[in-house]
Amino acid sequence: MNTGRKRSRPRRLDHEPAMVTWARKKAGLTKRALAARIGISEQLMSEIESGWRNATPANLAKIAEALNCPVVGLERKHTTDAPR
């Protein structure tokens, strides 16, 4: 059923999609295996890695634990445009 809504990416991600993918591959896991390990769907894992969905803090912590890496390594670094 097509409702005519266009899907859009989140305006702000709390995680760095490329780092999640890199850490998963370094751990030797497939998206399916990682998703099963942390209790989410493979579809959601794919959307987190592609940047279409934001990883909740709880899911990001589970991903980091499953990949044996610190959460801070997967978090997006936000910069401020404050004057110096």
Kindly list the domain boundaries of the chain, sorted by start residue.
30-68
Record the pTM.
Answer: 0.80
**pLDDT the model gives residue 4:** 67
Q: Are 49 and 31 in contact (CB under 8 A)?
A: yes
**pLDDT the model gives residue 11:** 76
What confidence tens digit (pLDDT) does each residue in 18-64 have?
A: 999 999 999 999 999 999 999 999 999 999 999 999 999 999 999 99
Per the model's pLDDT, the better-predicted residue between 79 and 34 turns out to be: 34
Q: Report residue 59 as tokens.
A: 């899911």
> What span, in angstroms and rounded, lies between the C-alpha atoms of 69 and 73?
7
**pLDDT the model gives residue 77:** 79
Q: Are 57 and 14 in contact (CB under 8 A)?
A: yes
Backbone φ and ψ of 69, nearest 5°: -140, 160
**pLDDT the model gives residue 64:** 97
